[in-house]
């Protein structure tokens, strides 16, 4: 078994437990032991875009310190927002010695000083480049034949360019994964259009509009479901469908799953690794229609 240091992020430990358990179980089937860090903190969820705000880079960097303490030179997260925030903070401190020095001063109680030794990986990037989709295809015990999947990237997996591990305008890594699992990716013009993110807190009407457009585009392509890698996209596109329906009576409900849940399904993991009970729009009918549950 290969051991891979894993940073789950806060939301995978409560609202998105389905993302967490399906990651650990499906990677186990690929002989990768996903080893959660013994200590970690919230990364702050969003990268700070100001050049002079050092404070907001402290939370991500303390996680990099933890990885270094565990003897790791790299670690993985599946959450698109954590990935973006951790990776961008890492780029900042690698490029700016002054910022790194200030952060190390802020965290003077830490025994370990950080100097840019750790690399941040996203699970999709790890699957494509290290495991390879060919090898994954060989582990499929239940091919997802006939399942039509719209792959939603949102904003933070592929933007900006310095963190993107795929094309910024037309990424295909998730479609390639879906094909390896035996399912059919459908074209999805709005796949990298932002869902409205944190406006779900104060301006849910914006999210209803975004969800209506994004999920409507997937429905037009006759997708059975939409996959994501971000718990905030998942929440918005799944839980805000009621608001979208109020806004547009023709709106068609569609389930939203994490890409790791499709992996767990195709690799024959236990039902407990899927947690299909945690969805607002129940994915079981769509999966049952294809004979998958």
User: Quick one: 15 or 130, whose CB is closer to other proteins?
Assistant: 15
Among 38, 98, 111, 202, binds other proteins (CB under 8 A): 202
Task: Quote the least distance from Cβ 247 to other proteins, whole Å.
Answer: 13
User: Would you count residue 208 as binding other proteins (CB under 8 A)?
Assistant: no
**Which region among 32-40, 67-75, 178-186, 200-208 touches other proteins (by CB under 8 A)?**
200-208
- What residues pair up with 148 in beta bridges, in sequence order? 184
200 part of the interface to other proteins, by CB under 8 A: yes
Tokens of 137: 């295809």
Nearest partner of 158 among 143, 168, 146, 150, judged by Cα: 168
Please, which of residues 75-94 interact with other proteins by CB under 8 A? Answer: 79, 81
Q: Which is nearer to other proteins, 140 or 155 (CB)?
A: 155
Contact status: 104 vs other proteins (CB under 8 A) = no
CB 154 within 8 Å of CB 228: yes
What is the Cα–Cα distance from 79 to 122, expressed in whole angstroms?
A: 8
Q: How far is the CB of 199 from other proteins (least distance, A)?
A: 6
HSE (side-chain half, CA atoms, 13 Å) at 111:
4
8 near other proteins, judged by CB under 8 A = no
Please report how many Cα atoms fall inside a 13 Å half-sphere around the Cα of residue 110, on the Cβ side.
Answer: 19
Q: Give the 3-state DSSP-derived string for 173-206, with helices as H, strands as E and coil as C.
A: HHHHHHHHCCCEECCCCCCCCCCCCCHHHHCHHH
The reply on whether position 134 binds other proteins by CB under 8 A is no
Residues near other proteins (CB under 8 A): 9-11, 14-16, 42, 44-53, 56, 79, 81, 155, 159-161, 168-169, 192-194, 196-203, 206, 209-210, 231-232, 235, 239
């Amino acid at each position: 078994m290969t051991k891979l240091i894993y940073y789950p992020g806060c939301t995978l430990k409560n609202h998105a437990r389905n993302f967490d358990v399906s990651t650990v179980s499906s990677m186990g089937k690929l002989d990768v032991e996903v080893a959660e860090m013994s200590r970690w903190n919230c990364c702050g969820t969003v990268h700070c875009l100001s050049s002079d705000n050092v404070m907001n880079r402290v939370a991500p960097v303390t996680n990099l310190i933890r990885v270094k303490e565990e003897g790791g030179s790299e670690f993985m997260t599946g959450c698109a927002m954590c990935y973006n925030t951790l990776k961008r903070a890492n780029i900042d401190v690698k490029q700016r010695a002054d910022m790194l020095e200030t952060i190390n001063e802020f965290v003077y109680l830490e025994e370990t000083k950080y100097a840019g030794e750790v690399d941040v990986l996203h699970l999709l990037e790890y699957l494509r480049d290290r495991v390879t989709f060919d090898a994954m295809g060989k582990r499929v015990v239940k091919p997802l034949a006939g399942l039509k999947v719209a792959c939603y990237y949102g904003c933070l997996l592929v933007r900006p360019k310095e963190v993107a591990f795929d094309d910024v305008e037309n990424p295909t890594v998730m479609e390639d994964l879906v094909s390896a699992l035996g399912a059919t990716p459908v074209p999805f013009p709005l796949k990298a259009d932002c869902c409205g993110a944190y406006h779900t807190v104060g301006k849910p009407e914006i999210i209803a509009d975004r969800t209506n457009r994004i999920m409507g585009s997937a429905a037009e392509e006759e997708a059975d479901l939409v996959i994501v890698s971000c718990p905030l996209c998942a929440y918005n596109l799944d839980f805000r469908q009621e608001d979208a329906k109020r806004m547009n009576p023709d709106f068609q409900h569609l389930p939203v799953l994490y890409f790791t849940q499709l992996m767990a399904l195709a690799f024959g993991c236990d039902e407990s690794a899927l947690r299909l009970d945690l969805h607002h729009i129940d994915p079981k009918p769509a999966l049952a229609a294809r004979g998958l549950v």
